Amino acid sequence: DAGVTQSPTHLIKTRGQHVTLRCSPISGHKSVSWYQQVLGQGPQFIFQYYEKEERGRGNFPDRFSARQFPNYSSELNVNALLLGDSALYLCASTAGGGVWFEAFFGQGTRLTVV
């Protein structure tokens, strides 16, 4: 069975550009979350979507946006890229809606801003 898939795996962008990262959740999972992991730190929560609605937003500027599609896949968009946006961006998939959850992560997208 396919796990969480993310694309692209690596990306190099220039300051000021925008980027779109994509995520396909595990089949049957309805919730997708996005996390940013800077080198040497634990992942930080960016967004969570469940049933195509935004359910949570972390402490990130409005340059970060996301959406979830009817097939539960998701996109993370970042505008006006800064050097500090360089990080590993992780997508997590859960079944959603329970009193507790298990999150399964994709391999991540390594974004480098130059």
Q: Which residues bind other proteins (CB under 8 A)?
A: 4, 6, 31, 33, 35, 41-45, 48, 50-51, 55-56, 58, 88, 90, 92, 94, 96-108, 110
Backbone dihedral angles phi then psi of residue 50, each to the nearest 5 degrees? -140, 125
Residue with tokens 């980027």: 19
Are the CB atoms for 30 and 97 separated by under 8 Å? yes
How far apart are CB 83 and other proteins at their closest, in Å?
20
Give the residue with the Cβ less far from other proteins, 18 or 73: 73
Q: How many CB atoms lie under 10 A from the CB of residue 70?
A: 6
How far apart are CB 16 and other proteins at their closest, in Å?
26
